[in-house]
Structures are given as structure tokens and as C-alpha cells.
Structure 1
Amino acid sequence: MAKIILTHEVTGLGAPGDVVEVKDGYARNYLIPRSLATPWTKGAEKDITAIRKARKAREIATLDDAKAVRDSLQAKPVVVSAKAGDSGRLFGAVTTAEIADAVKAAGAPAIDKRKVEIGQPIRALGEYKVSVRLHADVAATVTVKVVAA
């Protein structure tokens, strides 16, 4: 078992700054190469406080703040523009990063692209429902309107 420090939120494992033990292969082949974690050392222990401070500055602090952001996001659709053909089919698909940028442009706090959950790939113009995890206990269902660029 490998002891690691998470640098990003990993679903089912923990939040940034948490020290967890995972199987060696999972740490070596998945978490560390994707910069989701760093190996635990005595020297790296001091990095945990810096990671936790950065996380607190980025995340939505309280449950009430998360609910307020959820209400504002659900009130109006988020518009994403993408290149599309004559039939309304997109060249490619709308990504979670594009949706996170559109949410930020709509006036909400910056949201990590990994917190945006798309059920099926968005490959055509129209309106879609997308889930955004704002807090551990709060998720918003956002209407994403895809328009031709």
C-alpha cells in the first residue's frame, strides 16, 4: 500500500490535502501521473497546509453559499457556443471545461471541470441538463443551451 497526499479531489477517495493509502499500482499508474496526488514523505507533510489553504480559497465555503450559487445557476440557462454544421450537428462535442468556463462567464464562481457531470456527450445544438457538484452536499442541475458559433 502506498501512502499519498491528494492534490485534487478524487471521487470516492478524498479531497485535496488528505493523506490516504491506496494500492501501489493505482498510485503509481493513475493518481501520480495525472497530478491528482503526490507521494507522501516527511518533507511533503508541510505541503499539506498549503494545499488545504489553496482549497479553502477556491471552494465555496459554506452550505448556504453553495445553495445560493445553485439557485442562481438554475434560474437561467448557461450559453455555450460551438461550431456546428447545417444540420445542427456539432463538429466534436461540448466538453466539461467549456461548460465550466460558461458557468464562470455567467457570473458564478469558478468551478472545476471535474465537478461537471454530463450524462451523454453533447453533440448537437439545443438545450441539455447537466449536473454540477458545488459542495459535498449540494449539486445544481444547470440548463446548458448550445448555440452555433
Structure 2
Amino acid sequence: MNPQATAMTLWQAVEALAAQLPFSTQKVGRTLSTTLSDTHAEGGDVFRFFEGTPVRLGDGTELARIDLRIKREGPHPGFLVLELGGRCVPMAEVRQHYANLEITGVPRGRSLDEATTHTATLGWGRLSFGFTERNPDCLAHVAFDPS
């Protein structure tokens, strides 16, 4: 399946998504030029899981998987993970946009898909950048965890 294309860069997409909290399938879909569908995932008693079609950004980054979780009941801003592909986004580029990062997760040696996670604490919550053991020099995912 060919990804949808949008002229936004990764960093414009991150800023645009953070600016629209709380998340909804409509807002995330419109921002990223994708359609989010309910995955009807097992164990979805508390959260509904939505997945978007892949999106190719203007800077060559691909949002290979878009994973949105919204609480079924009660107020909650949602949780969003963007899994990246396409071009390599190195840590130096992440630090150009978010200089104050703390390491909040480290691989435990169980899988090459485990990540070292660097997190920025922002006014709206936590924005995390994961670099997997499989490809530690390139950003693998961005997670939005609003508080």
C-alpha cells in the first residue's frame, strides 16, 4: 500500500499534533492526512485502539504506523505513538528541536526492538523519542503522553 503524502515535516507534524490536545480520531486524521480505524484490539476494555494508514511526510520521513488510544469512559487526552520509517532521523536532529531530554527507558537485552527512550517534559505532558537496539542511530518512534 502506498502511503498518503503530506507536505508537513516530522517536526511540523509533532507540533501540530501537540497543539490539538485532547486527541480525537478526526483531529489526528485531519492533521496527518490519514484515516484512523478502530482495530477492535483484544483487551480494549479501558481504551479504544485506532490505527492510521501510513503517511509520507514532506521531509522524507514516513509514519509507518499511527497508533492512537482513547479511553472509553471519562476524560482522558488520549495517547499517540508514531512509528517511523523512510529517512533516518538522528538524535542530533531530535535535540535541535527538543534540547532538554532525559532518558526514561533503556533496553533490557530481550529484543532488538527494545528502545532507549528520551523524553521531553512539556507544558501539555511528555513527548518521548525511542531509538531501538536494531537501529540505534535512527529514531524509531515518537510517543505523545498528555497529562
TM-score by length of 1: 0.32
Q: Indicate the structure (1 or 2) with the bigger Cα radius of gyration.
A: 1
Higher helix share: 1
Structure (1 or 2) with the greater strand fraction: 2
TM-score by length of 2: 0.32
